[in-house]
Homo-oligomer: A and B are copies of this chain.
């Protein structure tokens, strides 16, 4: 069982405490599974109290014994009932006046309960600080992401074995999923934003390529029913169709996002052209973006290129369902920072990892483009997913 090194956890907690102090907060209480895992190395049920200074305390209701084994933290205690929280907080952070919580993900009823429990202390949102920390990946995290990218690479190489005319989209998807799962895909893909969820990703063919969904992405897909209206459907994959494989690898907690296209015969020339334009946009961004480049500028640059090359109306979606970004951070969650979009006026920094996905959605014709998971290094952008990018004939 892989556990997060103590050194890694110590560094994260230290940086978090600095931010807690800067914000004028006496402590943060971390509750969400993914954040818990980031700061403790475990996501057993409970709360992590991080005082502005001193030892953090991981309170675990279930399973306490597993938390002891998984987390390198020294201060882990069994939590019998959450009613004990106010007393424990008083002892851990004497005289606390201001507490930080993850207000972006904490359900309202828990927020209200905490507000009452910790009254008269003020409750503030600490989620921006957490996202800021998680934005820069450590060498340890980058190594795991590289391992995930290898599973992704193997999967894309195996696609021609599974992708056959006459198969249903869902049947093809099931086999791709089975392949990844056997190599260690954890299944669960964590998405932070409310109501956003994804099951592996998007596998669609032909007319299903351009079906939008509730998911914030250039593509959507029909899904098997309106109850989960996303990804592969019941449609049979036919001759002369293009197939998208936009599947996330989630390995040892970390997401790798990558898209490739496959064709079963002729590809409409407009789609061929769209694909080349997407590749040109990708390469231009990789050539020019370096640490210090502003995220919103990169998005603007991409939009301008799409317009110049005649694909403005198809870039990242069509009409009202157009996605308004060209890249999104990946890590323990699929929707991390940085976001390459308008109003994201912060610079790229070494250690950031994001999915860059210039795609063209042409109604009645199809979807083309590419998506790679990219690491920002001191020298510039490095593709972590190294897989042929042309539309692959099968």
Contact status A70-B171, CB under 8 Å: no
A 89-113 binary contact with B (CB < 8 Å = 1; else 0): 0000000000001011111111110
In the complex, what residue of chain B is closest to A40 when comparing beta carbons? B226
A63 to B170, CA, bound (A): 22
Inter-chain contact A231/B187, CB cutoff 8 Å = yes
15 A–B contact pairs at CB < 8 A?
Answer: A1-B226, A33-B197, A43-B195, A62-B214, A62-B216, A62-B321, A63-B213, A105-B107, A108-B108, A108-B111, A174-B181, A175-B178, A184-B234, A186-B223, A188-B228
Knowing that A63-B321, A174-B177, A227-B332 touch, tell me 17 more A-B residue pairs with CB under 8 angstroms. Answer: A1-B233, A31-B195, A37-B226, A63-B212, A66-B213, A70-B226, A70-B229, A104-B108, A106-B108, A107-B194, A108-B111, A174-B181, A174-B182, A184-B234, A186-B228, A188-B228, A227-B252
Interface residue A41 (Cβ < 8 Å from any Cβ of B): yes
- Chain B residues whose CB sits within 8 angstroms of the CB of A110 once the complex forms: 108, 194
Cα distance A105–B195 in the bound complex, in angstroms: 10
Q: Which residue of B4, B105, B188, B320 contacts A226 across the interface (Cβ within 8 Å)? A: B4
A369 at the interface (CB under 8 A from B): no
Q: Given A227-B186, A228-B188, do A212 and B62 touch, yes or no (CB 8 Å)? A: yes
User: In residues 222-276 of chain A, which contact B (Cβ within 8 Å)?
Assistant: 222-229, 231, 233-234, 250, 252-254
Report how many copies the assembly holds.
Answer: 2
Residues of B close to A7: CB separation below 8 A: none
> Is B186 within 8 A of A224, CB to CB?
yes
Check A63/B107 contact, CB under 8 A, given A44-B229, A214-B44: no
**Which of chain B's residues have a CB closer than 8 A to the CB of A33?**
195, 197, 214
Q: In the complex, which residues 17-36 of chain A have their Cβ closer than 8 Å to any Cβ of chain B? A: 31-33
Residues on B with beta carbons closer than 8 Å to the beta carbon of A70: 226, 229
**Contact between chains at A181 and B177 (CB < 8 Å):** yes
Give the residues in chain B near A37, CB-CB below 8 Å. Answer: 226-227
Choose one: B2, B173, B179, B254; the contact of A181 (CB below 8 Å): B173
Q: How far is the CB of A23 from chain B (nearest CB, A)?
A: 16
Q: A100 → chain B, closest Cβ, in Å?
A: 12
The contact string, 1 if C-beta is below 8 Å from chain B, for chain A 170-209, is: 1101110111011010111000001101011000000000
The complex places the Cα of A233 from the Cα of B1 at a distance, in Å, of: 9
Closest B-chain residue to A184, C-beta based? B224
**Centre residue among A1, A37, A182, A226 by max chain B CB count within 10 A:** A226
Asked whether A125 is an interface residue with its Cβ less than 8 Å from the other chain, the reply is yes
A45 within 8 A of B: yes
